[in-house]
Structure 1
Amino acid sequence: MRLSSVLNTLENARQADDLQFVLSEIRRGYGFAHATLLVVRAGISPLPYPFFCTTYPPAWTDIYLRRNYFEIDPVIEISRTGFLPVDWHALRAQSLKGKAFLRDARGFGVGRHGLTMPVRGANGERSLFSVTSAANRSDWRRLRDASIWELQVLSHYLHDKAVLVSGLRASGARDMLSRRERECLQLIARGEIPKQIAARLQISEGTIRLYLRLARRKLGARTLYQAVARASFLEIIDV
């Protein structure tokens, strides 16, 4: 129920500022202290960290940006090699600056615990979706374990929406796929199978399957069902 509610709110987001409301809903709905989305890299932007949205206290956000804590935040190191969710208890700040950073963060009410989901987008973008908690250790573990699957799902949808509404995708999501790839995926979404699509478009079934494989790869989807869901969310096809 929480997941579907957040996804509905996210689907209606039309500009970057709307994502602030989405993060606030995640925070309230799941019982976290804070939620943050950071786009670490986007293909068309020459700048590092081109998009940042958070529910952290404004005083902490101001210090973070002013002191360029991106450079010493141990969470950001996850984006360089990681694919799986990381509990912040597994992080180790090696430098004195890194350790001081973590102390400062706790002092500003960021939370004692955190979980970060690295995301790699279809066009090579990378982002980090993080949630934090002020609960005790045992309550944090229960909260983390109960919500981690839904948070992983949300991380991919948040990433896609962020790079879309912030203009970080060069030619818009629709241009990710060719006309034929969109057409085939649209017909799959309407319930047709490759053989029927081939007859409709008067091309071979093998060619249809090739278009669908290419569409899946570009959308970063493992199955056709995932490809249809992602294409629908990005408004590439109508469902």
Structure 2
Amino acid sequence: MAEFEGLVAAVTGGASGIGLATAQLLAERGAKVACLDLKADAVPAPLTGVACDVTDDASVRAAIDTVVERLGRLDILVNNAGIGAQGTVADHDDDEWHRVFDVNVVGIARVSRAALPQLRKSPSPAIVNTCSVAATAGIPQRALYSASKGAVRALTFAMAADHIVDGIRVNCVNPGTADTPWVGRLLDKADDPVAERKALEARQPMGRLVSAQEVAQAIAYLASPAAGASSGVELFVDGGMQNLRLRPRT
């Protein structure tokens, strides 16, 4: 498959997890791909690693300029960089609330803002934001994270409305708990990592964690020119967590 032949994609948080899986899939399907990440030197070939801190406007603008200089253009932006937070609404101070929103929400705004002039030049421009099932389903001990992803969801729809006149499609994917390095680090901190993993798996009706590759497939679909009629769409990749209400297994 080469539906991305001739197109250039930038993926934030592209050095690991969902971001890396997405970048590799887009490259396999013909795109030239830049991974914008704090750990740009960890990005494997043939992907292009570009240093980027999504909380710093100058860093973001320099990264987008570098993508265009190295790869010649920009057609697809995947806003995937994000951080997590565990706890209730009372468990984080103001600084932590600002830090998480600065990465997860304002970071998307910074990168999108910097990319828009280039995307407007593309014949097939698309933005895909990594949201979460936490934006639409109440999940215990995820107050701050859920609030930030709820903002990402709302921002996605607003951006889709604003930029459809430019021909730029804006959509998001809503993963469930994914088997990524970040989740792995959370499990390592648990008193009983094996039991905690089983609990996370049981929370999703399919009985397992979502893979990074499965989320990447959804992102690639929304980014593809073949999805040219899709804008303002949220695509759940959550093992049925959002919409299925199963009877307990016996």
Q: Could you tell me the TM-score, scaled by structure 2's length?
A: 0.31
Q: TM-score, normalised by structure 1?
A: 0.32
Query: Which structure carries more helix by proportion?
Result: 1
